[in-house]
Amino acid sequence: MKIKKEDAKLLADQAYRNGYDYLPRWRACAPTVFAAVMDTVGYDGDPVVQEIWKAVIGLTGGTGNMSIGTCGAMAGAAASVSYSFGYSMDDLRDITKMLAVNSAVAEVGEKMKARYGDITCQEVQFKHWGKSFRLTDPRALKEFAALTGGDDARTECREVTGDLARWAVEAIITYNPDFIKIQPPF
């Protein structure tokens, strides 16, 4: 399917809104981005997608809330872009297929680095607040939650989840437009 430039922009904008709006619901960046992307491209309610959503929860907060790993929003974006390729375990025996997935994910990561300085949770936190929070520490988690939780809270993490959802949808449009189930007008 060929997606017109203006329709691609509408999809990307919807992905941003979903990523931004969904974060207060789950307060977990990885499944937020994954759901925002999948809902935007027409997979809301898909039982396989719902099972994958469960699997990405532990990627939140720099993996297991340790803050030292990849930002959960980036992890959710990587999962959604990877899923859009539809490769099986047998497909990945072909190194060119794995490299295609990794190239698409790396493009999203480069956009994140350009905007936020890094793709790790602690560095993104440091950019926003001048410090990072080890989210496995209950006191640090409470302090971080006070900065980021709720609908009326500061928007830094919501912007990150919105941006990563946008960039993942843009990658899917570029690499796998046939993965998109919904049809224009969006």
Q: Give the number of domains in the chain.
A: 1
Residue 185 included in any domain: no
Residue 186 included in any domain: no
Tens digit of each residue's pLDDT (9 = 90 or more) over 114-135: 999 999 999 999 998 899 999 8
- Is 100's pLDDT higher than 90? yes
Tens digit of each residue's pLDDT (9 = 90 or more) over 28-53: 999 999 999 999 999 999 999 999 99
Residue 168 included in any domain: yes
**Which residues, 6 or more positions from 26, have their beta carbon under 8 angstroms from its beta carbon?**
32, 35
Please choose, from the candidates 67, 34, 33, 32, the residue with its C-alpha nearest in 3D space to the C-alpha of residue 48.
34
Residue 184 included in any domain: no
Please choose, from the candidates 110, 135, 139, the residue with its C-alpha nearest in 3D space to the C-alpha of residue 125.
135
Find residue 164's DSSP bridge partners.
none
Residue 136 included in any domain: yes
DSSP secondary structure string, 21-89? Answer: HHHHHH--HHHHHHHHHHHHTT-TT-HHHHHHHHHHGGGTTTTTT-SSSB-HHHHHHHHHHHHHH---T
| Range(s) of the domain holding residue 76 | 5-179
Q: How far apart, in Å, are the Cα atoms of 35 and each of 10, 13, 76?
A: 17, 15, 8
